[in-house]
Amino acid sequence: MKRRRFIQSLAAAPAVPLVAQQAAPPAPAPQAAPPGGPFGRTGPADPPLQTVAADLAAQPVAPVFCNAAQFAALKKLGSLLAPPLAGKPGALEAGAPEFLDFLLSVSPAESQKLYRDGLNALNAQAAKQFKVPFAELNATQADAILRPLLSVIPWVEDLPKEPAHRFIAQAQRDFRTATQNSREWAAANANSGRRGRGFGGGIGLYWLPIDPVKG
Amino acid sequence: MAAKEYDVLIVGSGHSGGMAANILAEKGISCLMLNAGPQADFARDRVAKPVYELPYRGFGEPGRHPHIYQATEYNANQWVDEREVPYTYDADKPYNWVRVRLVGGRSLFWARESFRLSDFEFKAADLEGTGDNWPISHADLDPYYTRVEGVFKVAGRKEGWPQFPDGNFVETNYPADSQTIKKVIDLATKRGIGCSKGRSAQGQNGLASSINLLLPGALATGKLDIVPNAIVREITTDKKTGLANGAHFVDRHSRREMHVKARVVVVAAGCLESTRLLLNSGIGNSSGVMGHYLIDQIYGINVVASVPEAMNGKAPQGLMGGSTFMPRFRNLKKTEKRNFIKGYCVRISSGGNANPEYFASYGEELQAKVDSYAGACVSGGIYGERVPRFENHVRINKDVKDAYGIPVLHINAKDSQNELNLAKDAADTIEELFHEAGWPTISRTERFNPPGYSIHELGTCRMGDNPKTSVLNKFCQSHDVKNLFVVDGASFVTCGWQNPTMTILALAMRASEHCAEQMRQRNI
């Protein structure tokens, strides 16, 4: 038996308890389907209404997690770690800082602390070395702060333990994912006739909640 | 309404429960299968979505599945949510318990790698001079493996190697090896390391699950009823005889408490859920061994090297691509003296890319490095065997209950020096092969994932001939409660490096036929 038929045959088992069957009123006589239009009733046979994604209609409110100084540093960091290359959008074009700011707002406290402390440390170091916030550094100045904090990570679970190094390693990973999984990255791939690797601008099969418990 | 009475209650619907239902129902034995979760409809419950339309842009809901490394935002709803069904562990002993409660269980999503255990695993104590043998050998299980491989349509290449027993394989045409893979095979062969190909269950339509290969046949007999969303909290026993006589369960949606009667109980809830159920029921543990000897497999090690002729996109056709598979080659003789027992298999792949995290760089400079290595990498990793140890165990944590009021498991599993030494040997061996080939290392780690990651948790109700040192006999039948069987991976004595699914299926088939015969003879 084909898998689909098997699933259907399982689904065909009686689902209405006997008591409910006895209490059910007589079936109504067949009626014509109600008319459509603005006040008509929709049913399973009707096609779903066309909707648009929120990010096509509106801009995200940001920052919600960072303060202004932290968010400026986050955007600067994104522009350095994931610049636009080879016709692909960079972190800024992909809205990655705004997205990560949202993601951090719903993340565990440990992740929030890593970013908050890390961004504050970048600003503090920039002020100490160059008397300006991190966001206002030129490329050479930013490199002088960033490069000593870079790490090699041979195993995915082994982010550096030292907080400043760990923050930069995590931010690199997050900016890469947020940029490559953006609508803008997918559009650039489509324009070049390529699908991204993995989920990079690609399409996958999403499992909806399966028979979720209510309440 | 009078409840129906069944001959056999089967708890769980994955590969082992499905096999039990298939064997028993086809012999005319009435079965009820209780499954803790709902039934998935692959057409109704899945939709195609671009990653940028997911709520968390592919990152997944933060904190939702902290122990399921395999979880993505796409598949997050298929796994058991540990906020609903938690478990506990000591902070210094993390354990990744990866569960699926859908009808069909983890058989819906397994990787389909299909290997037999060999007597290097069944009779490991004879070779190693420590630990315990299984009460059965490969010869005992061989006819069942053969039948299972036929049902699951296992593709593989026969080699005639005792540590890698051949089976009932469907014919497969493997593509020609690339030059880099040929080089690895040549160098490995000179070291006495055999190179083969993976073995995989083809199933039907890309699925090798209980829901398409086992349960349809059982349902067709009219002897099987399946109840989804039925969470079993306790196996009940007759106070006079001590025999199992059914189970209490709770409906997942309504929380209504129910009881079902049965002449025989077959537990197939997936190793640790089965053991949790038995411990919560307080049965079958006169040995005190239940919950102990928890094992699973090492997944990890990563050695990546570059092939100079393939750098900067200049690989000539036929140089890169493909893979080779090296079944266990360590500790096959008593005379072999190493700083670890047991063994591992190696997978070598050619033609990959370098992970950006291998370089301390960023921005355009990093991208240039990554681009230069594109398609020019070879990499190696392992599946390794962990040592069964009494102290690696699970117990009931009465202080924590799941959403249904059922006490949870506390898991205590930690690796020993043997696992660390085995991993180092593997990384050394792979790196040496790459260096002999003239391929410089880009990245090397001896790290491997924490216990549980392989989703091959085994043991905790191990089988044996001695009721004082084992929970089950060689037919997966409780020493204490004769009409109770545990047919999933809980019966394993050693885990091997092999994906255990074929062995679980063969054991479940053998146990179910034994059960049916015992029922026919009225012994149970």
For the stretch B244-295, pLDDT in tens is 999 999 999 999 999 999 999 999 999 999 999 999 999 999 999 999 999 9
A60-119 per-position pLDDT tens digit: 898 999 999 999 999 999 999 999 999 999 999 999 999 999 999 999 999 999 999 999
pLDDT of residue A195: 53
> ipTM of this model?
0.92
Q: Cα Rg for chain A, rounded, in angstroms?
A: 26
pLDDT of residue B186: 98
User: Distance from B347 to chain A by nearest Cα, in Å?
Assistant: 17
Q: Over chain A, what HEC string results? A: CCHHHHHHHHHCCCCCCHHHHHHCCCCCCCCCCCCCCCCCCCCCCCCCCCCCCHHHHCCCCCCCCCCHHHHHHHHHHHHHHCCCECCECCCCCCCHHHHHHHHHHCCCHHHHHHHHHHHHHHHHHHHHHHCCCHHHCCHHHHHHHHHHHCCCCCCCCCCCCCHHHHHHHHHHHHHHHHHHCCHHHHHHHHHCCCCCCCCCCCEEEEECCCCCCCC
Work out the average pLDDT over B143-161: 97
The answer to whether the beta carbons of residues B72 and B393 sit under 8 Å apart is no
Q: Does B313 touch chain A (CB under 8 A)?
A: no
Instruction: Tell me the C-alpha distance between B396 and B88, whole Å.
Output: 10
Best B51, B56, B103 residue to mutate vs chain A (most A CBs within 10 Å): B51
User: Distance from B204 to chain A by nearest Cα, in Å?
Assistant: 9
Question: Which of B331, B347, B300, B301 is CA-nearest to residue B163?
Answer: B331
For tokens 């995989």, the residue is B200
Q: Does B199 touch chain A (CB under 8 A)?
A: no
Between A18 and B155, residue with greater pLDDT: B155
Give domain limits for chain A. Answer: 59-188
Best A111, A170, A207, A214 residue to mutate vs chain B (most B CBs within 10 Å): A207
Residue A204 has its nearest CB partner, among B51, B358, B447, at B51
Work out the average pLDDT over B374-402: 98
Q: Does B57 touch chain A (CB under 8 A)?
A: yes
**Residue B427 with chain A: CB contacts under 8 Å:** none
Q: What percent of chain B has pLDDT over 90?
A: 98
A164-191 per-position pLDDT tens digit: 999 999 999 999 999 999 999 999 988 7
**Residue A4 with chain B: CB contacts under 8 Å:** 42-43
Q: Which CATH number fits domain B6-42+99-153+208-294+457-520: 3.30.499.10, 2.60.120.260, 3.40.50.920, 3.50.50.60?
A: 3.50.50.60
Work out the average pLDDT over B401-425: 98
B427-484 per-position pLDDT tens digit: 999 999 999 999 999 999 999 999 999 999 999 999 999 999 999 999 999 999 999 9
B235-249 per-position pLDDT tens digit: 999 999 999 999 999
Contact B449 A157 (CB under 8 A): yes
Contact A208 B45 (CB under 8 A): yes
Contact A201 B212 (CB under 8 A): no
User: Distance from B217 to chain A by nearest Cα, in Å?
Assistant: 8
Instruction: Tell me the C-alpha distance between B417 and B45, whole Å.
Output: 45
**Residue A11 with chain B: CB contacts under 8 Å:** 39, 41
Q: Tell me: pLDDT of B151 over 50.
A: yes
Question: Which of B443, B449, B414, B415 is CA-nearest to residue B427?
Answer: B443
B328-354 per-position pLDDT tens digit: 999 999 999 999 999 999 999 999 999
Q: What band does A56 get if pLDDT is binned at 50, 70 and 90?
A: confident
**Residue A207 with chain B: CB contacts under 8 Å:** 40, 45-46, 74-78
Give the DSSP letter string of A167-188: HHHHHHHHHHHHHHTSHHHHHH
pLDDT of residue A46: 74
Instruction: Tell me the C-alpha distance between B176 and B187, whole Å.
Output: 18
User: Distance from A29 to chain B by nearest Cα, in Å?
Assistant: 30
Say if pTM beats, i.e. exceeds, 0.80: yes
Span(s) in chain B for CATH 3.50.50.60: 6-42+99-153+208-294+457-520
Q: Does B302 touch chain A (CB under 8 A)?
A: yes
Amino acid identity, position B385: E
Q: What band does B225 get if pLDDT is binned at 50, 70 and 90?
A: very high
pLDDT of residue A17: 33
Between A27 and B381, residue with greater pLDDT: B381
Q: How many CA atoms does the CB half-sphere of A174 hold within 13 Å?
A: 28
Q: Does A150 touch chain B (CB under 8 A)?
A: yes
pLDDT averaged over every residue in chain B: 97
Q: Tell me: pLDDT of A10 over 90.
A: no
Q: Over B314-340, what HEC string results? A: CCCCCCCCCEEEECCCCCCCCCCCCCC
